Amino acid sequence: MKENFSMNAKTPFAVLAICMILILFTAGCTTATESEKELSKITNFEHTVSPPEKHYRADDTCYYESLVDIRNNAQKDEKNVIVRCNLINVKTGEISDTVTQYFEVINAGDHKAFTVKLNGDCDSDYSIEIEISEDKS
């Protein structure tokens, strides 16, 4: 016996719409965001930061560049080191931009130097704040 299936023309669109809704609701559910990672502040590091230097782009926007140097003063190697560099508006105290630098290992007594470029307003004064932590997750 032969069954006769007739498909309404709207059915494929309804199935597609349901799939799209499910994708939207489940997107990103399997990955941990940086804020969900288990971060632990590292206290055995010292750091130096040069004052942020203003640079102009061709489109008249600005970025600020600074040299950061961190040193592991511990007697052991530190793994999964995260250095968060915040551009702080001196007048308001608000964070204008953030750059994160990751180091797999920083050996005991070793240091790492790097340059950060952070976006900011051309008519504001800024300082750089450094937060050093390790990812324990």
This prediction has a pTM of: 0.69
pLDDT tens digits for range 29-40? 433 444 445 677
Report the pLDDT value the prediction gives residue 42, as an integer from 0 to 100. Answer: 80
Report the pLDDT value the prediction gives residue 79, as an integer from 0 to 100. Answer: 94
Judged against a pLDDT cut of 90, whether residue 129 lies above it is answered with yes
pLDDT tens digits for range 42-84? 888 999 999 999 999 999 999 999 999 999 999 999 999 999 9
Q: Can you tell me the distance from the alpha carbon of 73 to that of 112, in angstroms, rounded to the nearest whole number?
A: 12
Give the residue with greater pLDDT, 37 vs 19.
37
